[in-house]
Chain A
Amino acid sequence: MSIKKSPWIIHYDGSSCNGCDIEVLACLTPLYDIERFGIINVGNPKHADILLITGGVNQQNKTVIKNLYDQMAEPKAVVAIGACACTGHFFAECYNMLGGVDTVIPVDVFVPGCAARPEVIIDGVVKALAVLEKKQQEKVTA
């Protein structure tokens, strides 16, 4: 069975301003209702397929992000949500920032926006599904 029909997500707030966070949460709620696609926010890396990260990486949370990523079961995908998660946005200039999420873990999908809108977030997750499916097939053939 394809992983496409049941992607479970975990959301971690890197060092975002909450703007993208609440938009991720808004995706769960009645207007956007991502459970239509079988998506559940499981909140536990061991159960999740897709790691959504909002906000950039700073000194302290880089190990957290790495830990969470390591604890996810293969196949897994990472979606960086919002300008900060993609590049660090204008916080990139701050002394405590390392930059986008791709500085610590491989990112599969970048979702732009400040704050990223729910529609775009859903779009990003759907893109991640294709990535996941590919990884799954690779795993089967390997």
Chain B
Amino acid sequence: MNAWIWGIVGILLTPVVAGLVGGIDRVITAKMQGRMGPPVLQPFYDVMKLFSKQNLVLNRFHHDLVICSLIFTVAAVGLLFAGENLLMCIFALVVGNVFLVLAAYSTNSPYSMLGADRELLQMLAAEPMILLAAVGIYMATGTFDINLIASGTHSAIQYLPGVFFGLIYVLTIKLRKSPFDLSTSHHAHQELVKGLSTEFAGPSLALFEIIHWYETVFVMALIYLFFASRPIVGIVAVLIVYFLEILIDNINARVKWDLMLASAWVITLIFGLGNLMLLFILK
């Protein structure tokens, strides 16, 4: 029963926390760019405004597919907070992502579909590292069960510094930040217009933003799991990592997909797999 409550709390709190984090992100980014930036609550204003707008669609399915994507992404976060199987949570997130890509495909509009293909490329680049991190956590803690990982006595980080680094590297992809915001970026000034989300208008776009909030919380929770035995350290680590991502966003141009894919895989192999091999041999 406890698990259910945790899951629901996670689902309910995520938009609040992620929205606030998003607002703070925008303020910090603005400061780094020598500007004042928007109010901290701006992400909420944006989403609420989007809900109040007309729902422009190209056909009657793509809005629905965004809803499906939201359902699975929410489920992923819910399962994560409920302490379910880590791999299953990641797969749920992947399904959510796939639905998002399908939504973009279903619009049958060139920029949107190019964005969909780019999003697939991003998944191709990021997914191995994330799953490998889960395997790493398993090797370090002996379980895929998030409850057990979280209540364990030692943190996975001490065994998995390489995996942790690799995860931070691909985190930029998941957070849609420079240098890896290829499929759709927070700023529209890219060659694909808005890529994946080009055709989402009004409520659809609002849902897309919310999906992104859940995704953000999901990957941050993944970071937290590395420090699970010491909650305070974990939260501090999450904050530092997020700040680092903002910094990276601000000091990098957007790279091209081939570099993204190649570098993400190389990092995954060297730091992720290398770390695991060492762990395997030493244990």
A contact set with B: CB distance below 8 Å: 1-3, 5-6, 8, 29-30, 33, 35-38, 41-44, 46-47, 49, 71, 73-75, 136
Please tell me if B141 contacts chain A, counting CB pairs below 8 Å.
Answer: no
Please list the 9 inter-chain residue pairs (A to B) with the smallest Cβ-Cβ separation, ordered nearest first. A1-B48, A43-B188, A73-B54, A5-B45, A46-B201, A30-B34, A33-B35, A6-B45, A6-B49
Q: CB-CB < 8 A to A42: which residues of B?
A: 188, 194
Please tell me if B39 contacts chain A, counting CB pairs below 8 Å.
Answer: yes
Could you list 23 A-B pairs, sorted by A, with CB under 8 Å?
A1-B48, A1-B49, A6-B46, A6-B48, A6-B49, A30-B35, A35-B36, A36-B36, A36-B37, A38-B38, A38-B42, A38-B45, A42-B194, A43-B193, A44-B193, A44-B194, A44-B198, A46-B198, A46-B205, A49-B53, A73-B201, A75-B53, A75-B54
Docked complex Cα distance between A49 and B56 (Å): 13
Closest CB of chain B to A105's CB: distance in Å? 17
Please tell me if B202 contacts chain A, counting CB pairs below 8 Å.
Answer: yes
A-B contact count (CB 8 A): 79
Closest CB of chain B to A71's CB: distance in Å? 7
Q: CB-CB < 8 A to B52: which residues of A?
A: 1, 3, 136
Fill in one digit per residue for B255-272: 1 if any A CB lies within 8 Å of its CB, else 0. Answer: 000000000000000000
Please tell me if B164 contacts chain A, counting CB pairs below 8 Å.
Answer: no
Q: Is the CB of B200 within 8 A of A46?
A: yes
Q: CB-CB < 8 A to A29: which residues of B?
A: 35
Please tell me if B189 contacts chain A, counting CB pairs below 8 Å.
Answer: yes
Docked complex Cα distance between A38 and B27 (Å): 11
Question: Which residue of B37, B44, B46, B49 has the most chain A CB atoms within 10 A of its CB atom?
Answer: B49
Residue of B nearest to A36 (CB): B36
Docked complex Cα distance between A61 and B200 (Å): 25
Q: Is the CB of B38 within 8 A of A41?
A: no
